[in-house]
Amino acid sequence: MTAVRPDVPGFQGSLFDQGSDIGPGPLGGVRRTELGDGAWVDHLPGWFHGADALFEELVAGVPWQAEERTMYENVVAVPRLLAYYREGVPLPHPALDEARDALGAHYAAELGEPFATAGLCLYRDGRDSVAWHGDRTGRSATRDTLVAILALGDPRDLVFRPRGGGPVALRLPSGHGDLLVMGGSCQRTWEHAVPKSARAVGPRVSVQFRPRGVR
């Protein structure tokens, strides 16, 4: 194996999760927030059981990549570790394949196609983050779509604002097996971010499920 064990502090799972199976729960309890402009966010805290065990397995077993990008002519480290699973590739844990398929079935009428790819992010501590953006590479630049996120590990806020600026309009703490689904025009008309945190926060993993041709 060439996977690198990321340098993250030890993680204490909740006692409740120990020994339980790992997998998605029912989706009936999802609550929708309309953001406006045809954008919405669905939220289901505690969707996954065995979430903390899954978190540990992903931190240890995923071939995490550190990426760099050029910003104002300087090469800077992207402040989170990444892994990408394209369509047809088995996900790093069978519970994630199960999750993708359960989400595809639940949202079939709205999405009209299956969830196909999975992007994984590891936020090692409060200094890791993702800046304001929409997932607008590919078809999501011009079309409504869905992006579903399973959040594991220590909760971090996922925040939303209208595209182009303004104060935070919605703040959803997400970790320990929570589900969050962005839908409608959300990627085009709104922006989301995981801000840096000055608090002492432990590592968090997010798994983003997207349909084909959406990044």
Interacting residue ranges for Fe ion, rule: CB under 5 A: 135
Q: Is 83 in the site for ligand AKG (CB under 6 A)?
A: no
Question: For residues 53 and 181, which CB has a smaller minimum distance to Fe ion in the complex?
Answer: 181
Site map 156..185 versus ligand AKG, x via CB under 6 A = --x---------------x-----------
Q: Which of 194, 201, 203, 209 binds ligand AKG (CB under 6 A)?
A: 194
Q: Which of 83, 130, 172, 214 binds ligand AKG (CB under 6 A)?
A: 130
Task: Give burial (CB, 10 Å; 0-12/13-18/19+) of 158.
Answer: buried
Token code pair at residue 47? 């969707």
Shortest spacing between CB 149 and ligand AKG, in angstroms: 5
DSSP state, residue 17: G
How far is 209 from 152, CA to CA, in rounded Å?
14
Helix (H) or strand (E) holding 182: strand 178-184
Question: For residues 73 and 99, which CB has a smaller minimum distance to ligand AKG in the complex?
Answer: 99
How far is 57 from 52, CA to CA, in rounded Å?
9
Task: Give burial (CB, 10 Å; 0-12/13-18/19+) of 157.
Answer: middle
Question: For residues 19 and 82, which CB has a smaller minimum distance to ligand AKG in the complex?
Answer: 82
How far is 187 from 140, CA to CA, in rounded Å?
7
Question: For residues 22 and 158, which CB has a smaller minimum distance to Fe ion in the complex?
Answer: 158
Binding site for ligand AKG (CB under 6 A): 119, 121, 130, 135, 149, 151, 158, 174, 192, 194, 206, 208
